[in-house]
Amino acid sequence: MACQVKPVQTGKDLRRFIQFPYQLYRNDPVWIPPLRSESRKMLNTRTNPMLAHCEVQHFLAVKNNRLLGRVSAFIDRLALDAWKEPVGLFGSYECVDDDEASGMLLDQARIWLKTRSMKKMRGPWSFASQEWGAQVSGNGLPPMIMAPYNPPYYIHQMERFGLKKAKDLLVYDIDYPQNYTLPERFIRLTEKITEKYRINIRSVDMRQLKRDVRIIVDVANESTRNNWGYIPVTSEEADNLAASLKPVVDPDLVMIAEAGTIPVGYLIALPDINVLLKDLNGRLFPRGLARMVFSRNRIRQYRIWALGIVPEYLRRAIDTLFYRRLSEVLIRKGVERVEANYVLEDNMAMNNPLKKMGFKEAKRYRVFEMKL
């Protein structure tokens, strides 16, 4: 029987859709299986508020009752409003190394979007915040918390279908040697900036985490409004983010910059709990829960997940205040490696400071698109 692509229509179909990556990557030594419960939540309209403003259709590629791949096609109404152009999205893309199955999956996404009057198809794009692109380089490094991963052949599959590069997103990392100290010139610079602009950086209050996350989301919406790919985050998504981060967040490493009482910037760095998930096959019980409780404090690598500064305070080196505070906390915790992602390839205001601090490019993700 030839390969067939069919829409996900039943609960059984959706379970197969969710389980497919665990089958595909079961022998991949690099992939970190996400918790299955989180994978289910991401695709559930009751537990993922992003889906409230999306029209979605999932597809499965099947041959002789063997599942070969999956993809989602979707239209995000908030994206259409923000981008002012009819761009449809595809995501949740996973496929065996089979060009026929790959092409048929992507073609079904293309047809579904085109019949709904979209003029472009863009992706891979996730139903989670800031999980975009297919990994172009650095595939030998395990994915950190809330970061995607894919085998190198995905790039060939997408290019063969006719998708072209829309934008690259860069991932930097740095190793902290033992007894590392911040350069004196960097300390002097940050002290001058603090005094000149009267900036205070505080940690989030875990007792008021929902309030502080909403503050961060407001700053994020304002600071990224003109960035490529910007989609506003709703208050419901902010509350969901607060709930999902609460079990893993280190309050010392989620920071808000304030000028007086006005929030002007934020930074979120997360402990890479993926190091605790490696051999759990996506299941928290029975071993995972104890590991999360008793081993979190031994995590020695972190991810800078997000950083933003409102437009009025750009080019005032406010980011260096965050980097100093971040480094001081990480050094105190004995952290060995830090990853910073994603950074738009043409965002020099973010790329240049990271390079000056010694960060090196470690991975690269690519968002593709094509005209419909």
Domain assignment present for 372: no
Statement: residue 1 has pLDDT above 80: no
Q: Are 255 and 216 in contact (CB under 8 A)?
A: no
Q: CB under 8 Å to 116, separation ≥6 — which residues?
A: 55, 75, 88
Do residues 129 and 269 both lie within one domain?
A: no
Give the model's confidence band at 254: pLDDT under 50 very low, under 70 low, under 90 confident, else very high.
very high
Statement: residue 295 has pLDDT above 80: no
Count of domains forming the chain: 2
pLDDT confidence of residue 288: 67
Domain assignment present for 370: no
Per residue in 158-188, pLDDT tens? 999 999 999 999 999 998 877 677 778 888 8
pLDDT confidence of residue 317: 86
Q: What separation, in Å, do the N-terminal and C-terminal C-alpha atoms of the chain show? A: 29
**Phi/psi at 265 (5° precision):** -170, 170
Which residue did the predictor score with more confidence, 351 or 111? Answer: 111
pLDDT confidence of residue 332: 87
Do residues 220 and 258 both lie within one domain?
A: yes
Statement: residue 59 has pLDDT above 80: yes
Give the model's confidence band at 64: pLDDT under 50 very low, under 70 low, under 90 confident, else very high.
very high
Tokens of residue 295, six digits: 């081993």
pLDDT confidence of residue 23: 97
In whole angstroms, give the CA distance from residue 123 to residue 366: 9
CA-to-CA separations, 15 to 12, 60, 70, 109, 173, in angstroms, rounded: 5, 11, 12, 20, 36
pLDDT confidence of residue 248: 86
Domain assignment present for 136: yes
Do residues 68 and 180 both lie within one domain?
A: no
Statement: residue 293 has pLDDT above 90: no
Which residue did the predictor score with more confidence, 341 or 201? Answer: 201
Give the model's confidence band at 117: pLDDT under 50 very low, under 70 low, under 90 confident, else very high.
very high
List the Cα angle 144/154/99 in 5-degree steps: 155
Choosing from 167, 192, 212, the residue where a domain stops is 167
Statement: residue 266 has pLDDT above 80: yes
Domain assignment present for 36: yes
Do residues 318 and 236 both lie within one domain?
A: yes
Do residues 144 and 224 both lie within one domain?
A: no
Give how far the C-alpha of residue 48 lies from the chain's centroid of Cα atoms, to the nearest Å. 15
Beta-bridged to residue 370, according to DSSP, are 121
Do residues 179 and 255 both lie within one domain?
A: yes
Per residue in 220-239, pLDDT tens? 999 999 899 999 999 999 89
Per residue in 124-140, pLDDT tens? 999 987 789 999 999 99
CA-to-CA separations, 250 to 205, 326, 363, in angstroms, rounded: 11, 12, 25
Tokens of residue 357, six digits: 């601090």
Mean pLDDT of 297-306: 90
Give the domain CATH number at 239. Answer: 3.40.630.30
Mean pLDDT of 61-77: 96
> Domain span at residue 310?
174-365
Do residues 191 and 151 both lie within one domain?
A: no
